[in-house]
Amino acid sequence: MASTPDQNRTPAAGAPAAAAAAPRKTRRHRGEGQWAKGHFTPLNGNEQTKKDDDGLNVRTRIETIYSKAGFDSIDGADLRGRMRWWGLYTQRRPGIHGGRTAILEPEELDDRYFMMRVRIDGGRLTVAQLRVIGEISQEFARGTADITDRQNIQYHWIRIEDVPEIWRRLEEVGLSTTEACGDTPRTILGSPVAGIAADEIIDGTPAIEEIKTRYIGSKEFSNLPRKFKTAVSGSPLLDVVHEINDIAFVGVEHPEHGPGFDVWVGGALSTNPRLGERLGAWVPLAEVPDVWAGVVGIFRDYGYRRLRSRARLKFLLADWGVAEFRRVLQEEYLKRELIDGPAPELPQAQWRDHIGVHRQNDGRFYVGFAPRVGRIDGTTLTKIAELAGQHGSDRLRTTTDQKMLVLDVEEAQIEALVSGLESLDLQVRPSPFRRGTMACTGIEFCKLAIVETKARGASLIDELERRLPDFDEPVTINVNGCPNSCARIQVADIGLKGQLVTDADGEQVEGFQVHLGGSLGLTPGFGRKVRGLKVTAAELPDYVERVLTRFRDERTDGERFAQ
């Protein structure tokens, strides 16, 4: 793949010349803002901002101007646009009611502090890295540090003055915030047990590292139509929500060629959710980065840039279909045929989150533990790093369920580690409620939020543990602060979409639209949006208790919540 396309003059690198591009059977032939069709004139403000200056270039201004002159010196297009390319968003100004989210101007919602996302590809951390993350949290982020459901760590309360020093400390231990947000290739999800799982089909880590080295922070892919999400897992548990990524590589055993990856494209949630589809192609480990770059190239060149709401890869895939997508990938980007391959087998395990104590392929053990809804703090993170080190481990992983693992624990160290974690309220044997509940950032910090999520999710866990102490079925409860589905509303047993609802007194209060019966893995599908089923936040524990009790009392043998 050649260098970054000059969108002012020429078609995108790796793409056919616009004039030579064959007409495709899409529903819309014109006006979608596709570079490969010659549409280089920005059709909205976001595209104009990216054309005016590459998002990656804002780093120099942060280091040399904004961090020295302070918040008020930040250019508006940088503040609300390009800073995302370095993992920075302004956070929500405290005290603004959710009902005002949609009617206020951006500057009225902006706080003078930032959310900062630390990119943790594959969820892979060393003890030294976790210690630095914890120290930064304590020193610069008022102790905040949430584990996200894309394996990142997210800080709040970051001052622009401190950003260069935070970068210096992160980069000193091999971490970064590069392209953690923005219209870029985001953090690459990886199996939390890559390289250590006894049942692993293939370890995708080398491919993740290669993609990172070659392409993250490169201007070749720093101006995509929107965000681009990647997942790679060779675990038979299918533990990286591969169905809802723009591209996913899923471990399979090819009958002739051996272990490799089945390629999925076009998954995404938010509004118009869509599960990814198989290309029907098998890719060996060494070719994953090229195939990845080919698919990102298609997205960059053919992706829709006219409307932000149609700019994800799923819309292009919906118009093209899988066969056309694979043809373009092969003919125009890879210049070769892909090998046909088998589909992955569906996992039978009810939990796929790696919580608990499990034996590794080398005879040692890994220990998975659960904070509440991914909320943790800097002091606790440094204590986890200390505990892991004291018990002979140098490696940890974050998961796509807002949980963490300590790897490489000798059998004799397990119980001491487990009790050390539990003394920090990090449970290795959690209730199904703590294990299965996730929450997005919500109104505490997110400018798009309508309702509170983290504290509400944590108190829901406590309440359900108190009310249903004997409930032992796997259940997932995903609490979202708005329709954007950062915490995966549509694929939870109980998905909760934050909105204002009318209570019994006719007042507009925080509440949720309920989606029931969504799932990934064994029976992938979206939950049903139960017509008219909205609960106020105050009613939430009663409602969830009723749903769970009814399920427990009425289920047939072996029936799972998602069925």
Question: Given the rule CB under 6 A, which residues bind ligand SF4?
Answer: 440-442, 446, 448-449, 480-482, 484-486
CA gap 543, 540 in Å, rounded: 5
Sequence-ordered list of residues with C-beta below 8 angstroms from that of 69, at least 6 positions apart, any chain: none
Rounded least distance, CB 446 to ligand SF4, Å: 3
For ligand SF4, the closer of residues 56 and 448 by Cβ is: 448
Indicate the residue whose CB is closest to ligand SF4: 481
For ligand SF4, the closer of residues 181 and 329 by Cβ is: 181
For ligand SF4, the closer of residues 418 and 440 by Cβ is: 440
Task: Give the residue from 557, 483, 492 showing the smallest Cα distance to 520.
Answer: 492
Which two tokens mark 98? 């959710």
Sequence-ordered list of residues with C-beta below 8 angstroms from that of 531, at least 6 positions apart, any chain: none
The end-to-end CA distance of the chain, in Å, is 44
Rounded least distance, CB 140 to ligand SF4, Å: 21
For ligand SF4, the closer of residues 414 and 446 by Cβ is: 446
For ligand SF4, the closer of residues 109 and 173 by Cβ is: 109
Rounded least distance, CB 353 to ligand SF4, Å: 20
Residue 217, SS3 per DSSP:
coil
For ligand SF4, the closer of residues 437 and 480 by Cβ is: 480
Side-chain half-sphere exposure of 480, counting CA atoms within 13 A: 26
For ligand SF4, the closer of residues 154 and 413 by Cβ is: 154
Rounded least distance, CB 452 to ligand SF4, Å: 10
Q: Which stretch of DSSP H or E encloses residue 397?
A: strand 395-398
User: What is the DSSP-derived secondary structure letter of residue 26?
Assistant: -
Q: How far is CA 298 from the centre of its chain?
A: 21
Rounded least distance, CB 549 to ligand SF4, Å: 28
Rounded least distance, CB 439 to ligand SF4, Å: 8
DSSP state letters, 219-241: GGGSS-SS-EEEEEE--TT--S-
For ligand SF4, the closer of residues 356 and 442 by Cβ is: 442
Rounded least distance, CB 461 to ligand SF4, Å: 18
Furthest CA-CA distance within the chain: 67
Sequence-ordered list of residues with C-beta below 8 angstroms from that of 557, at least 6 positions apart, any chain: none
Task: Give the residue from 73, 119, 318 showing the smallest Cα distance to 230.
Answer: 119
Rounded least distance, CB 436 to ligand SF4, Å: 18
